[in-house]
Structure 1
């Protein structure tokens, strides 16, 4: 199956327009599957930077030299906390400079840890300030909540070093960790202590590692997805159908949110949403669980879609992604399933991000028959 994360762009290097950045925010929020942080605040910063004459260059990952050094960037923490703290481009830049000082050299390029949500826009802030090119790739093809839930972790690549910074002038460097799970535990604890939100620079990757193990062309595909939604809105056609067509997804349910349970704990936002069916789904009920991102959806008590397939809750009218931090009573939502990047359909991938990784006693079953392992 050809998925969003597998289609190559037509250009090897291009300057992103302001319209591309707007589209990226829309597409990344959809691919965030409820997490990755709302991109809105970062989008506001990007608008200011572009008006000031700054630009971002997107490069084809296959043009990277094998020995190029690439910074892998993200915010870490609970999305709900991120909503309460305005994004600052200098906040995103600080861990990059810390990592460069630690390595004793500059980066050749930067990329996102995850294309989903605000983290899909995050490296654009750094690129606009530094002039570094952004690699058209990430390590998730969506958003996941934990450090071991990446394509590079599935491949067994090195998990350290890591740099982290908060807005209070606290800096953290983790020079070594025994495993990806230990890196997750240590960095999550540090993040929790400084307020459950931090900017990070993950273990740097070589150009060869990005080409072999990255989820390639995810930025271009998020931009293309966002453009399709914007076009549908302009033409007053159905943006949900635009997403389904562009991402080769499946509509699982339509309804109204009637209950939300959530709690911020240990640097995560955990809970579930109850959606009461409308239209053809009237009389039915879907319950969608989340840990920052949506993980498993039950329809009338039966599991019908689960990670690593993407579970996306979109506003039925606008096609806008809805984060787990802003779900509320009365929202009219469409629940979509999108195909997972192939790396997560392997035995190792399912072990890292399948339903059991989130505490569900379920064997992974894809709604996309041809992608079942």
Structure 2
């Protein structure tokens, strides 16, 4: 069964503890499949906000009224730039305020565009500062690099308006776009012009849209995953096995990173990593390609795993997720595959996020073929 899409027995309202936030950072970084931005800086901000008495309330998406207005939040740009350009947490709330002014209405709740990486933590900052509840859902169940690579885009929901802000006090509103791909193109161009990193508030979603088309209970999934990894570390157990068990994943390869080619271009971080096998994979070479996130991996020139299956590179000892922006020579890594949300296994989903969407002339074959419910 695809546990990443399975309903989680969430309470209608749950006040997240500081430990929950710590676990979320671990789980979101694993689910980020290399992208979504390193959550560490956002985690530091959240620790400070909690020390000051702020809290975050996580709400069950099914408790939303159909006409509730939900802000969909993320950072946009190249993860490597996000490591170099730090921002005050108040920066994250600017696009939401812009959108509220544009719409003439306050939001009832916020949610992540993607649960992966720092973007899984992003709405937590906004919620802690602004007092909004966070919906236990996102639109990817992981991280993807482009606007059309979401469950709401696959469903054909409206792609506009979008608001964007940077640290220089530039504010941009995109009131309309012809399609999701056009929204991606024009907003990415603007993001590149202001330094390849920006905070955004995507097209608002109604409560009905979230309930019908969101990836539900993904925040709880990330927290649970992080808790399993942290518990394994505390018990001196194998955190990789903890991830495999918690997320119904498969271990594909273990090895050492021997080469990384990486370039920031057109608002993305693109490249590939070469991993030489260790232990049972000795003598083999795995090449993993990425566009912000890991997209396709080739074992001795043969494709072995590809999007929308989640390709996760984890530190073999700690179980920590390794982003495409921090991957480096000498790291001992375990390469895992986790099941994709079912919406991306449909014809429309594969058109949006399958290997051809990333430039690979491959028909999608899942590592979990015949296993997903």
Q: Distance in 1 between matches of 2:127 and 2:165?
A: 18
Q: Where does residue 261 of structure 1 map in the other structure?
A: 261
Q: Distance in 1 between matches of 2:146 and 2:194?
A: 18
Q: Where does residue 251 of structure 1 map in the other structure?
A: 251
1:118 aligns with 2:111: no
1:355 aligns with 2:358: no
Q: Is the 8 A contact 2:232 2:238 kept in 1?
A: yes
Cα displacement (A) at 1:371: 5.2
Cα displacement (A) at 1:372: 7.3
Matched position secondary structure for 1:263: strand
Q: Distance in 2 between matches of 1:7 and 1:79?
A: 30
Q: Where does residue 64 of structure 2 map in the other structure?
A: 64
Q: Is the 8 A contact 1:41 1:87 kept in 2?
A: no
Aligned residues: 373
Aligned counterparts, 1:182-331, within 5 A? 182-331=182-331
Matched position secondary structure for 1:4: coil
Cα displacement (A) at 1:87: 3.3
Q: Is the 8 A contact 1:315 1:333 kept in 2?
A: yes
Cα displacement (A) at 1:151: 0.1
Matched position secondary structure for 1:6: coil
Q: Distance in 2 between matches of 1:240 and 1:5?
A: 21
CA deviations on 1:46-77 (whole Å, 9 max, x unpaired) are 00000000000000000000000000000000
List gaps (5 residues or longer) in structure 1: none
Q: Where does residue 173 of structure 2 map in the other structure?
A: 173
Cα displacement (A) at 1:12: 1.5
Q: Is the 8 A contact 1:139 1:150 kept in 2?
A: yes
Q: Distance in 1 between matches of 2:212 and 2:6?
A: 13
Matched position secondary structure for 1:163: strand
Q: Is the 8 A contact 2:271 2:291 kept in 1?
A: yes
Matched position secondary structure for 2:204: strand
Relative distance call for 1:252 and 1:89 in structure 2 (3 A) is: same
Q: Where does residue 45 of structure 1 map in the other structure?
A: 45
Cα displacement (A) at 1:353: 0.0
- Computed over aligned residues only, the root mean square deviation of the Cα atoms, in angstroms, reads 0.9
Q: Distance in 2 between matches of 1:87 and 1:367?
A: 38
Cα displacement (A) at 1:10: 3.6
Cα displacement (A) at 1:369: 1.6
Matched position secondary structure for 1:343: helix
Q: Where does residue 161 of structure 1 map in the other structure?
A: 161
Matched position secondary structure for 1:369: coil
Cα displacement (A) at 1:219: 0.1
Aligned counterparts, 1:2-13, within 5 A? 2-13=2-13
Cα displacement (A) at 1:3: 1.4
Relative distance call for 1:346 and 1:371 in structure 2 (3 A) is: farther
Q: Where does residue 54 of structure 1 map in the other structure?
A: 54
Q: Is the 8 A contact 2:10 2:220 kept in 1?
A: no
Aligned counterparts, 1:21-170, within 5 A? 21-170=21-170
Q: Is the 8 A contact 1:9 1:220 kept in 2?
A: no
Matched position secondary structure for 1:370: coil
Structure 2 length normalisation: TM-score?
0.99
Matched position secondary structure for 2:141: coil
